[in-house]
Structure 1
Amino acid sequence: MYDVLVIGGGAAGFYAAIHIAEARPNTKIAILERGKEVLTKVKISGGGRCNVTHAEFDPKELNKNYPRGEKELLGPFHTYASGDTVGFFEERGVSLKIEEDGRMFPVSNSSQTIIDCFVSETERLGIEVKILCPVSGIEQMQHKDDTLWRVKIAENFLLAKYLIVATGSNPKIWKYIEELGHTIVPPVPSLFTFNIKDDRISGIPGLSTHAEVTVIPKKKLGTNSKKVKLESANLISDGPLLITHWGVSGPAILKLSAWGARVLEQYNYQFKIKVNWVTEYHKDGLLELFLKVKQDEKKTLLRTKVLDIPKRLWVNLIRASHIEDSITWPEVSKQQLSALAEQLTASVFQVNGKSTFKEEFVTAGGIDLKEINFKTYQSKVLPNLYFAGEIINIDAITGGFNFQNAWTGGYIAAKGVVEELNKVQ
C-alpha cells in the first residue's frame, strides 16, 4: 500500500515525486516506469544536452509560448515558473546557462547531469523507482472508509491513496483515463518540419536566414471548417528559417507547426506557404530600391548582393525570376525586377508532408483542459487523481517550454497531494 503512486518515469513524474517526498519525508511513494530506463526524453532532448527550460521569467510572456494551454498556464506560472526551476537545480549543484536564443542547458552540456540529479534525489528521499512496470489497468475502489486507487501491473495490483499520472503522449494510458470518465482530445503531431521539393531551395541545405512564413489558407475544408478557417487565417510566424535536404525547418517553421498543428492535420499536410526572405521590405518598397540600384550599378545582378540575405539564396531567387546570370543592372527590365521583388517578399512553396523534428516528438492532444483544476492539477472528474506534463492537452513551441510545463505541473500536483495528505493526519 502506497501513499502516492506516480505513473510515468519522465520529467513531470520525477519532479512531482521529489517535491512530495521533500515536503513529507515519510510518505511512501513509487514511480512506475514501463520501460527499462527512466527519463528517456530528458536524455535525448536538445541533442543530448537537455533544454531544461527557457530564460523567460515573466509568467505573462512565458505562457504565450503554448499553442494549447496559454490561458490555463498563466495561474500556474505565477506559482512556479522558469526562475523556480533554475533555483531547484542550482540548490542541487546543477548550474544552468542561457544561450543566445534564450534556451537553458546544464553547464555540463550533458542531459546525464539532469538524470543523475533526479536519480540521486529519489535515492536520497527513499522514493521507489520501479522499471519494467507497464500499467495494464487503473481503477478506483472502496476499501473500508477509504477510496483507493488500484493499478494493475501484469497480474499484480498496487494500491495507493493518491495517483499522479505523468505518462506523456501515451495512447494506452489515455484510454484508461477515458474509461474513468475523462475526455481525451485526439492527438495530432506538433513541432515538425515541412517537406518541400523546389529548385529555389535545392542544393543549399544548412543555409539559415531570418524570414516570415505564412500558411496560405485553403478554401475547401472538411469538418469544423469555420474554426479551421479562422485558425488558418492567423498562421504566420517569423524567425530563423533553416533550409534542409528535405525542405525547411528552424524556429520559424517549428513555431508555425505548433500553432497550426490541428489546421495542418486537417490539410493532410498538403498546403502552400508564402515566405518573405527580407522581412523589412514589402514588394513595392523593394522594387523601388531595385530601380534606384539600376540607375547606379553596372555589374551583373548575380554579383551584386544589395540585400542582407545569403548569397546562394540570392542567386537561386534571381534565377527563379527568369533573370539570366549574365544580365547586368542596366540591362534588367522593370518587369524582371518586379518578379525578383515578388520572389524575395512572397515566394510561394508547396508543402507535401512533414518530418519529425529530431527525436523530440511532441503531440497536441490529451486530457481536456476543462477537466483539470489548474490550482492543484487535480482531476475535476475523480478525487485523488492528478495529472502533469504532456498527458494533458498542452504543448509548446520548443522543448524547453515543454519541460517547463512538466516542472510546473509536477510541482503544483505535488503541492496539491501534500495538502490533501496533511488534511488526513
Structure 2
Amino acid sequence: MSRIIAVIGGGAAGFFGAITCARQNPKARVILFEKTCKLLSKVKVSGGGRCNVTHHCFNPNELVKFYPRGSKQLKQPFKEFGAQDTVNWFEKRGVKLKVEADGRMFPVTDNSETIVNCLLREAENAGVQVLTHTDITQIIVQPGEGFKLTSAKGQHWQAAKVLVTTGGQNKPENYEWLAALGHRIEKPVPSLFTFNVPASYLKELPGISVPRAIVKITGQKLESEGPLLITHWGFSGPAVLRLSAWGARLLNDLNYQFSASINWVPDFTEETLRAELLSFKNLHAKKVISSNAFFGLPQRLWKAFTEQAGIPAELRWLDISNKSLNKLLETLLRGIFEVRGKTTFKEEFVTCGGVALSEVDMATLESRKVKGLYFAGEVLDIDGITGGFNFQAAWTTGYLAGRHMATV
C-alpha cells in the first residue's frame, strides 16, 4: 500500500493537519494539495490582515458556547487541543500572541504574515510536500489499497489516507465529490454576514457605532447583544454578525427579507427610560432636545433619532408632547429596520453546513463511512461566531486528524 498521506486544501486546517501528521510520523510522505496558487489565503486576510488566531477562552465548556453548529461535538476535541494549546503551539515556534480587550488573540506583530510564515516554515521543516495549482476532483476508495486521487488535469496519486480540508463552500454542488463517498451534506448557507437596509434613515451616518445594542429578528426568538456599527448599506458589528451566525438557517429560509428591531439603550426598560427623560425635562426644560445627546450616544446619531421621532430641530424639552416622547422611546428601544439582503463580512467568508458531524468520529475526525478518510475545518458542519473561533476549530480538528492519521 502507498505510504502517501494526502491532505486536500491549503488552509489553516490543512496545514495544521499536515504538519501534525508529518511530525507524528516522519516516515510518512505527506502531500498537501491546493487547487489555487494561494496558500493560507484566509489566514492572510483575517482580522483585517492581523489574523485573529484564537480566543482567550481556555475552558472547553465555555469555548463551545461560541459555536452555533458543532458546540456539543467539539467539547471533547477542545479538551484534547484547545485555545491554550494553540497559544503554546505558536509560542513554541517563536510566535507570541497577545489578548485584546474583547478576548480576541493576535500575533504581537499585528501581522498575519507572521502566522502564514510560521505554518509554511513548519510544513517545510516537517517534510510536507506542497503542490499548488492541483485541484483534486475525485477520491476513489480502493479496498485494501487506500485511495486513488484524481486531479482536474487528469493526474493520479495513490494514498493510504486522505484528509479533506477544503473549507466551507457556498454551493451544494461543490460537495458532490464528497457526497459520492456516501457522506450526507448539510445544506451550506452563509454565516457571519452584515444586514443590508436600503431604506434605513441612518445610512447617511456610516462609521458611527455604539458599544452596546440589542438586535432582534421580529417575530422570532433570535436576538444578540454587543457593539453595533452603522454602514452605508445597513448594519454590521459583533451584534449583527453573531445574530447572522446563530440565525444562519432561519435567515436563509427568509431569503434575507425580514424586520430587525434595535434597542439602542439596553440598560433601560421603557419605564426607566421614560423616567430618565422626564427627569431631564424637569431639570433642563429650556434645552433644545436634538442638541443634547443622551446615554453616551454620538450627537449625530441622537439627532437622527429625534428627527425620526418627528421632533423639530429647535424644539425644547418643555414643549415636547406626549406623542413625540412616546415616539422617541419607541425609536430608542424598538427601532424597526427592514432588512433586504446581506453582505459578506469583509473577506471572511464563513458557511454553516458541510459534512454531517454524525458521520464523523469527532475523537479522531475519521469518517464513520469510509475508513482512512478524515475531515477537518469548515468542510465540516461546524462554524463559530466572529472572534477567532473558526480558526480555533480549524486548529483543533486539523491537529486531531493529523495525529490520528499518522499511522500508515
TM-score (norm 2): 0.96
CA–CA separation in structure 2 for the residues paired with 1:393 and 1:31: 22
Secondary structure of the corresponding residue to residue 341 of structure 1? helix
CA–CA separation in structure 2 for the residues paired with 1:280 and 1:128: 56
Equivalent residue, structure 1, for 2:111: 110
User: 1:390: Cα distance to partner?
Assistant: 0.3
Instruction: Give the 5 Å matches for 1:34-53.
Output: 34-53=35-54
Secondary structure of the corresponding residue to residue 405 of structure 2? helix
Equivalent residue, structure 2, for 1:152: 150
User: 1:333: Cα distance to partner?
Assistant: 1.5
Mind listing any 5+ residue stretches in structure 2 that lack a counterpart?
none
User: 1:81: Cα distance to partner?
Assistant: 0.7
* Preserved contact between residue 200 and residue 317 of structure 1 (Cα < 8 Å): no
Residue deviations 1:5-51, cap 9 Å, x none? 10111110110111111122221110011111211111111111111
Equivalent residue, structure 2, for 1:228: none
CA–CA separation in structure 2 for the residues paired with 1:15 and 1:272: 41
Query: Could you tell me which amino acid in structure 1 is paired with residue 308 of structure 2?
Result: A
Query: Could you tell me which amino acid in structure 1 is paired with residue 43 of structure 2?
Result: V
Secondary structure of the corresponding residue to residue 293 of structure 2? coil
Equivalent residue, structure 2, for 1:211: 213
User: 1:199: Cα distance to partner?
Assistant: 5.2
> Equivalent of 2:385, from 377, 393, 397?
397
> Equivalent of 1:243, from 230, 248, 257?
230
Query: Could you tell me which amino acid in structure 1 is paired with residue 86 of structure 2?
Result: T
CA–CA separation in structure 1 for the residues paired with 2:174 and 2:120: 24
CA–CA separation in structure 1 for the residues paired with 2:136 and 2:174: 8
Q: Percent identity?
A: 44
Equivalent residue, structure 2, for 1:293: 280
Residue deviations 1:241-277, cap 9 Å, x none? 0000111000000000011111111111110000000
CA–CA separation in structure 2 for the residues paired with 1:234 and 1:416: 41
User: 1:55: Cα distance to partner?
Assistant: 0.9
CA–CA separation in structure 1 for the residues paired with 2:387 and 2:281: 46
Instruction: Give the 5 Å matches for 1:259-274.
Output: 259-274=246-261
CA–CA separation in structure 2 for the residues paired with 1:334 and 1:288: 13
Equivalent residue, structure 1, for 2:342: 354
User: 1:363: Cα distance to partner?
Assistant: 0.8
CA–CA separation in structure 2 for the residues paired with 1:167 and 1:105: 24
Comparing 286-295 and 174-183, the one that deviates more: 286-295
* Preserved contact between residue 2 and residue 30 of structure 1 (Cα < 8 Å): no
* RMSD (CA atoms): 1.3
User: 1:136: Cα distance to partner?
Assistant: 2.1
CA–CA separation in structure 1 for the residues paired with 2:387 and 2:278: 45
Query: Could you tell me which amino acid in structure 1 is paired with residue 321 of structure 2?
Result: S
User: 1:173: Cα distance to partner?
Assistant: 5.5
* Preserved contact between residue 104 and residue 387 of structure 2 (Cα < 8 Å): no
Mind listing any 5+ residue stretches in structure 1 that lack a counterpart?
218-232
Residue correspondences, number: 402
* Preserved contact between residue 291 and residue 334 of structure 1 (Cα < 8 Å): no
Comparing 6-15 and 101-110, the one that deviates more: 101-110
Instruction: Give the 5 Å matches for 1:1-400.
Output: 1-142=2-143, 146-153=144-151, 154-170=153-169, 174-198=175-199, 200-209=201-210, 210-217=212-219, 233-297=220-284, 298-398=286-386, 400=388
* Preserved contact between residue 183 and residue 368 of structure 1 (Cα < 8 Å): yes
CA–CA separation in structure 1 for the residues paired with 2:201 and 2:339: 14
CA–CA separation in structure 1 for the residues paired with 2:119 and 2:74: 24
Secondary structure of the corresponding residue to residue 197 of structure 1? coil
Equivalent residue, structure 2, for 1:230: none
Comparing 257-266 and 282-291, the one that deviates more: 282-291
